[in-house]
Chain A
Amino acid sequence: MFVDVSALESGAVLRTRVCVVGSGPAGMTAAVTLANKGFDVVLVEAGGRYRTAESQAQFAGEVIGDHYYDLSTARLRMFGGTSNHWGGYCIPLDYHDFEPHPRFPDTGWPISRSDLDPYLEPACEVLEIPNSFEEELVTPSLRRTRFQFSPPVNFGYKYDEFCASSDRLRVCLNSALVDFKLADQAIKSAVIKAADGREFSIDAELFVLCAGAIENSRLLLWINQKSGGRLVQESRTLGRYWMEHPHANVGEFLLEAGPEFFHGGPPFTQMASFSLTKQAQYDLGVLNADLLVEETAYHSSETKGLIADLLCYAPALGERLMGLFEKNLVCGARVRSHWEQEPHFENRVALDSTKSDDLGIPRVKLYWKKSEADRRTIVRTANEFARQIANSELGRVRLVGWVVDDGPIARQRFMGGWHHMGGTRMSDTPDQGIVDRNLRVHGTPNVYVGGSSVFPSGGYANSTLTIVQLSLRLSDEIERRLS
Chain B
Amino acid sequence: MNTMKNAREESVGYFSTRREFNVTIAALLIASCTRLPVGSRSSSDRGRWILNERDH
Contact = CB atoms under 8 A, between A and B. Distances in A.
B16 A73 contact: yes
B48 A399 contact: yes
A50 B11 contact: no
Interface residues of B, number: 28
B49 A297 contact: no
Nearest to A70: B16
Contact of A157 (B8, B10, B15, B55): B8
B48 to A, nearest CB: 4
A152 B14 CA distance: 10
A452 B38 CA distance: 43
A401 B14 contact: no
Interface in B20-56: 28, 32, 35, 38-39, 43-52, 55-56
Interface residues of A, number: 47
Interface string A383-423: 10011011101001111111111000000000000100000
Nearest to B20: A73
Interface stretch (A308-316, A356-364, A366-374, A440-448): A308-316
A393 B50 CA distance: 12
Contact of B47 (A51, A387, A404): A404
B16 A313 contact: no
A313 B51 contact: yes
Interface in A46-93: 49-51, 73, 76, 84-88
Interface in A288-333: 297, 302, 305-306, 308-310, 312-314, 316-317
Given A50-B4, A314-B56, A317-B55, A397 B46 contact: no
B4 to A, nearest CB: 6
A84 to B, nearest CB: 6
B39 A400 contact: no
Contact of A297 (B5, B32, B45): B32
Nearest to A304: B38
A398 B56 contact: no
B5 A157 contact: yes
A391 B55 CA distance: 10
A210 to B, nearest CB: 21
Contact of B55 (A85, A88, A316, A405): A316
A340 to B, nearest CB: 20
A202 to B, nearest CB: 25
A308 B8 contact: no
A397 B11 contact: no
B24 to A, nearest CB: 9
Contact of B50 (A302, A390, A402): A390
Nearest to B28: A297
A468 B36 CA distance: 45
A50 B6 CA distance: 10
Interface string A143-166: 000000000101011001000000
A49 B10 CA distance: 13
A390 B51 contact: yes
A119 B7 CA distance: 33
26 contacts: A49-B4, A49-B7, A50-B4, A73-B16, A84-B8, A85-B15, A85-B16, A87-B14, A156-B8, A157-B5, A252-B47, A305-B38, A309-B46, A313-B49, A314-B49, A314-B55, A316-B56, A383-B50, A387-B50, A396-B55, A397-B50, A400-B47, A401-B43, A404-B47, A404-B50, A418-B14
Interface of A: 49-51, 73, 76, 84-88, 152, 154, 156-157, 160, 251-252, 297, 302, 305-306, 308-310, 312-314, 316-317, 383, 386-387, 389-391, 393, 396-405, 418
